[in-house]
Amino acid sequence: MARPLIVLGSLNMDLVIRAPRHPRPGETLVGSNFGMFPGGKGANQAVAVARLGQPVTMIGCVGRDAFGDALIATLQAAGVDTTGVARADAATGVALITLSAAGENTIVVAPGANGAVTPELVRMHEPLMAGAAALLLQLEVPLPAVETAIRLARGHGVPVILNPAPARPLPAELIAQVDYLIPNQHEAALLTGLPVHSPEEAQMAAEVLRRSGAGVVVLTLGEQGALVLADGEPVHVPAFPVEVVDTTAAGDAFVGAFAVALSEGRAPVEAATWGCAAGALACTVLGAQPSLPTRTAVLRLVTGDE
């Protein structure tokens, strides 16, 4: 049996409303089609991994409330091991998402119980990391927990995959411990101080991140695909064109697929191709976790088989 991936991260309930466009400050718009969807970058990435057939264990925290019950049940239904999901005396995290007619979103997150992911909680679940295929992290839980998890994973020889989202400055010593760094354009710009609007600018930002100590940099570029920079020349991986319905969780689909492909022995460029395929497919369905594609769908898009 394949070794499991370990995901440390957030669990949120996404409250989504459609609007013709994003409101301006002080403006009220009439929207439509309100829905509640399980989300949180950590949970999304765990489900993305499970949908692609890889064993995966989630470490995180929810509240002792109905949203927490629903999020744990959804993870378990998707095949995610929830051994590492704790309960806190705080409300489960919530994300308020406005989805425009163009499929673009704006998101405001109330972290709630995600703030209870502490270094102590991470250390409690250290045995889960021993023998894992990789540790997958984001930045929707407190940074001390992320730093602790990275140290423990490296102590067990487990590769570290960091999706530095949402964007925030990071200490150079943390970046230097990351084997695979997967920022999007906005996150890469914040980490490097450089504009990132094109593959050429992405290459310059990726080179800065490599000089900061990151192992392999995979910079996602939305509809422009992704740029992979390892030891050789940078490689631009094109996107798969699709009709966009909702971009929510497209980045999480990319990261999950990249991690699965990598754990199966594929090279970073091929893993990024899987990521682009999964991210594209996620854009064609409304909602975060409902949009995460199956292995069959990803392979069909990657190979071009109908």
Per-residue model confidence (pLDDT) at position 2: 83
Q: What value does the mean pLDDT of the chain take? A: 94
What's the burial of 165, exposed, middle or buried (CB within 10 Å: 0-12/13-18/19+)? buried
Residue of 14, 65, 252, 305 marked active site: 252
Which domains does the chain show, CATH number per domain?
Answer: 5-9+40-92+114-303 (3.40.1190.20)
Which pLDDT tens digit goes with each residue over 13-29? 999 898 999 889 999 98
Between these two residues, 248 and 146, which has the higher pLDDT value?
146
Per-residue pLDDT band at 306 (split at 50, 70, 90):
low
Give the integer Cα–Cα distance in Å for 75 and 247.
Answer: 21
Per-residue pLDDT band at 32 (split at 50, 70, 90):
confident
Backbone angles phi, psi at 280, to 5 degrees: -65, -45
| Least reliable range by pLDDT among 103-107, 120-124, 164-168, 295-299 | 103-107
Give the integer Cα–Cα distance in Å for 294 and 281.
Answer: 9
Please state, for a pLDDT cut of 90, what percent of the chain lies above it: 83
- Any catalytic annotation for residue 252? yes
Please state, for a pLDDT cut of 70, what percent of the chain lies above it: 99
Per-residue model confidence (pLDDT) at position 59: 98
pLDDT exceeds 80 at position 1: no
Per-residue model confidence (pLDDT) at position 286: 84
Mean pLDDT of 244-260: 93
pLDDT exceeds 80 at position 103: no
Which pLDDT tens digit goes with each residue over 202-225? 999 999 999 999 999 999 999 999
| Least reliable range by pLDDT among 86-95, 102-111, 264-273 | 102-111
Read off the tokens for 230. Answer: 């390892």
Per-residue pLDDT band at 153 (split at 50, 70, 90):
very high
Which pLDDT tens digit goes with each residue over 230-242? 988 999 999 999 9
Radius of gyration of the chain (CA): 18
The beta-strand segments (E) located in 163-260 are 180-181, 216-220, 226-229, 235-237
pLDDT exceeds 60 at position 271: yes
Mean pLDDT of 99-111: 86
Which pLDDT tens digit goes with each residue over 127-140? 999 989 999 999 99
Give the integer Cα–Cα distance in Å for 136 and 123.
Answer: 16
pLDDT exceeds 90 at position 149: yes
